[in-house]
Homo-oligomer: A and B are copies of this chain.
Amino acid sequence: MKKIINDPANVVPEMVKGMVRSYPQFITKIEDAEAVMRADKDSMTGKVGIVSGGGSGHEPTHAGFVGNGMLSAAVCGEVFTSPTPDQIYAAIKAVDQGQGVFLVIKNYSGDVMNFDMAKDMADMDNIKVKSIVVDDDIAVENSTFTQGRRGVAGTLFMHKILGAMAQNGASLDEIDAAAKKVLPNIKTIAVALSAATNPETGKPGFVLKDDEIEYGVGIHSEPGYRREKIKPAKDLVSELVGKLNDEMHLDHSKKYAVLVNGMGATPLMEQFIFSNDLLDKLAEFDVKPAFMKVGNYMTSLDMAGISLTIFEIADEKWLGYLNQPVETIAW
């Protein structure tokens, strides 16, 4: 493992310090917590707070999306480990303006439980808290008897829409209702060329041969649904769009937002080649995205690969929220 770090045990606090010191115009550290909030506190006055977070290693998510028009605060757990309730609670408390706080949680046992406990703590303090659990990763079978699906890159769209609404003065209940409406419209699926190496364990999550890829991996190097020989970009696009279409039935009369997300070590060149093939494939369905982003947004340390998110814009207002300007490090 070759990494530009000091002590593996300190990567998160050092990274958080590096972020707030490099971008003091956008974010500031929350005292006694590995968490950041907007530097421009006035932008939050009288508004509902939007708080997100989870394990670290997905940069620029989450701290890179804190700023005017998007998140109010982000909590940074240990690498690939959900943050503890006291940290989440500190973020809730720091941004609450009396209008309540909305939590965006990704569907992992740890995140769900830790955010729930933080909510209990906020309740005791009479801070109104509501939340949504994002579960956009269609690689996993859906079932009410199991943990269900993971929350991955599609969370970016949830952050953007709720952040814009909060900025525009929406109430906690309005945000809660919108989140519930947005959720089933976001679907994501990924393909990996290599796994991430966690600085603490020093080992990759799985090992692929020099000519192997794996479909359906998660953002913590959870294994996927199929391993096979590397294929041309076109064929990867076919596989991923096929899976998404099975779920959401692409329809030319509907509007879609698309996120082509690099997992960390995959060059933009490859992401744009993938995007070119993707737009060809979508054209076969007579679909042209109304909104599109390509780049490293929800990474998995040094994993190589791409995830593809398609978000059906079921409400015309959402497109406006996606396009609303923000002041963040990374949007």
Using a CB–CB cutoff of 8 Å, the interface residues on chain A facing chain B are 2-7, 11, 14-19, 21-23, 56-57, 59-60, 64, 79, 193-194, 210-211, 213, 230, 232-234, 236, 260, 264-277, 279, 292-296, 299, 301-302, 304, 306, 330
For residue A233, which residues in chain B have a CB less than 8 angstroms away from its CB?
Answer: 4-6, 14
Given contacts A22-B292, A292-B23, contact A6 B273 (CB under 8 A): yes
For residue A193, give the distance in angstroms from its CB to the closest CB of chain B.
5
In the complex, the chain B residue whose C-beta lies closest to that of A191 is B4
For residue A79, give the distance in angstroms from its CB to the closest CB of chain B.
8
Q: Are A232 and B60 in contact (CB-based, < 8 A)? A: no
21 contacts between A and B (CB under 8 A): A2-B194, A2-B210, A2-B230, A3-B270, A4-B193, A4-B233, A4-B274, A4-B306, A5-B270, A15-B272, A18-B272, A18-B274, A18-B294, A22-B293, A56-B269, A57-B267, A57-B269, A59-B269, A59-B272, A266-B302, A268-B296
Chain A at the B interface: SS class: mixed
Q: Are B264 and A60 in contact (CB-based, < 8 A)? A: no
Q: Please, how many angstroms separate the alpha-carbon atoms of A315 and B272 in the complex? A: 37
In the complex, the chain B residue whose C-beta lies closest to that of A325 is B325
Residue of A7, A213, A270 with highest tally of chain B CB at under 10 A: A270
Q: Please, how many angstroms separate the alpha-carbon atoms of A277 and B5 in the complex? A: 10
Q: Are B19 and A272 in contact (CB-based, < 8 A)? A: yes
